[in-house]
Amino acid sequence: MKLETSEYVAGFDEALEMVLHWAVPIEKTGVERLALLDCVDRVLAEDVAADRDQPPFARSARDGFAVRAADAVAGAELVVAGLVRAGEQWGGPALVRGSAIEIMTGAPIPDGADAVVMVEHVEQAAGRVRMVAGRSLRSGENVVPRGCEARAGDVVLRAGSVMKGAEIALAAACGRASLDVFRRPRVAIVATGDELVGIDAVPEPQQIRNSNSYGLAALADEAGGEAVRFPVARDERAALNATVRAARGCELLLLSGGVSMGKYDLVEEVLRSLGAEFFFTGVKMQPGKPVVFGRLPARDGLREQFFFGLPGNPVSTQVTFCCFVAPLLRAISGSGEVSPRFVQATLAEDVEAKPGLMRVLPARLTSDRTKAEVRLVPWQGSGDMAAHARSNCYAVLPPDQKCSRGDVISLLLR
């Protein structure tokens, strides 16, 4: 996966394959131990094992009566011997033939019982119960066996898992008050361009606010990184060189703007002067064609550093981040799942073909229980941030192919 020429424009799938190729063996960040609730959205750096069987006892899945299934036949009356609630253990003798024990959801199954008949399925009178007509019961019904979820010592969470609500709950169930997680990789964000001013400035007619720096910082944080925003690099070689050198201490370098073919697009030139190796210098896609991916060598006590040169138009910047930067950043963060998340939905409108370019366009997915439908968001090009903010996904439209209403297309989730 090494670039043989000075310029190489890759196909969309080829570019993604290159990124994922480098993501697999990439060096992870260090490890830190955090309290459990501080681990939300962090990547687990250790396996978590069950400290006991889960569940630790056979338990009832329903409110009802613990019985021997063989006794629960139509017309048979069973004597209710007592009651067991969640958090209690049955303290009486083992269940015998012809008897039942009232039981609450989550309570341990008494010895001798092998099933639970739901309270809705019995008639009760004078301390006795019997199945309602037409109901039957089999052994094991409404019983959650001991250890069916995990046995003591089983790994229930693997290193590389992203800790969301379900994972936090599972770790808590295993008695883990703290966990080892990967440190967030530092992501250097450098916006370039003489036209950029701060977001609190009143721009001159020819100027724009530096929105990319903030948008990329938010995306980097969402993908598991720790954004480090640098001052705007002006369109001057020495200034850009100095800023890139200052950013070399971070695990990943993102530059926005300066990657097209203009006289003052200096990003590639400056990176080459620092010994950069380029894997691609463009991708056959819209928006985002000028995106650049490569690596700076280990030098002067600094380790190697992957970089992306992203287009300056804000929508192009965010699309290319989602397609290519996020997978690599998730890999550096230690995540076991780095690939972009593609899903499919039905197209709600006709879309004309675009020769030679994979289009990754802002779109809005709507869905109900039976149907997922997507529609392109009307936009004025890759600088239309308002249109982009109205989208919730990207429609991925193959080159040279007209897509018609009712076609199933791929979506890239944001």
pLDDT of residue 300: 84
* HSE of 133, CA atoms in CB hemisphere, 13 A: 0
Cβ-in-10-Å burial (0-12, 13-18, 19+) of 38 comes to middle
Confidence of residue 261 (pLDDT cuts 50, 70, 90): low
Q: What is the mean pLDDT of residues 119-127?
A: 95
Q: What is the mean pLDDT of residues 127-149?
A: 96
Is there a cis peptide before residue 55, judged by omega within 30 degrees of 0?
yes
Element (H, E) at 301: none
CA distance 180 to 163: 11
Q: What is the mean pLDDT of residues 338-363?
A: 95
Residue 1 has pLDDT above 80, yes or no: no
* Contact call for residues 101 and 82 (beta carbons, < 8 A): yes
Residue type, 355: P
What are the distances in angstroms from CA 175 to CA 41, 132, 182, 398? 19, 42, 20, 49
Beta strands in 177-230 (DSSP E): 178-182, 186-191, 196-197, 208-209, 226-229
DSSP string, 376-398: EPP-SSTT-HHHHHT-SEEEEE-
CA distance 30 to 183: 5
Element (H, E) at 332: helix 326-332
pLDDT digits (tens, 9 = 90+) for 330-344: 999 999 999 999 999
Residues of the chain with pLDDT > 70: what percent?
98
CB atoms within 10 A of CB 225: 28
Q: What is the mean pLDDT of residues 195-214?
A: 95
Residue 263 has pLDDT above 90, yes or no: no
Confidence of residue 264 (pLDDT cuts 50, 70, 90): low
Reported CATH class of domain 9-30+183-332: alpha beta
Q: What is the mean pLDDT of residues 181-185?
A: 98
pLDDT of residue 6: 67
pLDDT of residue 3: 44
Confidence of residue 2 (pLDDT cuts 50, 70, 90): very low
Q: What is the mean pLDDT of residues 244-272?
A: 88
pLDDT of residue 4: 43
Q: Where are the domains of the chain?
A: 9-30+183-332, 33-53+149-182, 59-144, 342-413
Sign, CA torsion 300/301/303/306: negative
Confidence of residue 62 (pLDDT cuts 50, 70, 90): very high
Coil/strand/helix, residue 17: helix
Confidence of residue 299 (pLDDT cuts 50, 70, 90): confident
Give the pair of three-digit tokens for residue 404.
């018609």
pLDDT of residue 262: 64
Superfamily of domain 59-144: Molybdopterin biosynthesis moea protein, domain 3. (2.170.190.11)
Tell me which of 3.40.50.300, 3.30.200.20, 1.10.3210.10, 2.40.340.10 is the CATH number of domain 342-413.
2.40.340.10
pLDDT of residue 89: 95
CA distance 402 to 27: 42
Superfamily of domain 33-53+149-182: Molybdopterin biosynthesis moea protein, domain 2 (3.90.105.10)
CA distance 272 to 239: 15
pLDDT of residue 5: 46
Given the DSSP bridges, would you call strands 196-197 and 252-256 parallel, antiparallel or unpaired? unpaired
| Model confidence, pTM | 0.91
Residues of the chain with pLDDT > 90: what percent?
92
Nearest to 271 by CA among 291, 250, 297: 297
Confidence of residue 349 (pLDDT cuts 50, 70, 90): very high
